[in-house]
Amino acid sequence: MNNFQAKIDILKGIEATAYTVCLKLLADEGAACRAAQSALIGIFRDPAFWNADEPQRNRFVLRHCFSVCSSQCKKSAV
């Protein structure tokens, strides 16, 4: 298995968590899906995530989801 595939497998493992967090924050399935996708892309691009251990990675997921959801709420309020 190559490095890229290993990263994809890790992201698949946190996908449900990201969606659940976004759904709780946004209370809209479509918006939560888009937010989770954006958060996962941000996580994939963040080298600090890949250097972190498991407990720290969980915090990264929450942080990225909260950031994306906050941005979406600000955009929809305008």
- Give the position of tokens 């994809």: 8
Find the length of the chain. Answer: 78
Where are the chain's structural domains?
Answer: 3-77
Q: What is the pLDDT of residue 1?
A: 55
Q: How far apart are the first and last CA of the chain?
A: 45
- 42 pLDDT more than 90: yes
pTM over 0.85: yes
Q: What is the pLDDT of residue 58?
A: 93
Overall average pLDDT of the 43-70 stretch: 94
Confidence of residue 78 (pLDDT cuts 50, 70, 90): low
Q: What is the pLDDT of residue 75?
A: 79
Task: Give the model confidence (pLDDT) of 44-54 as tens digits.
Answer: 999 999 999 98
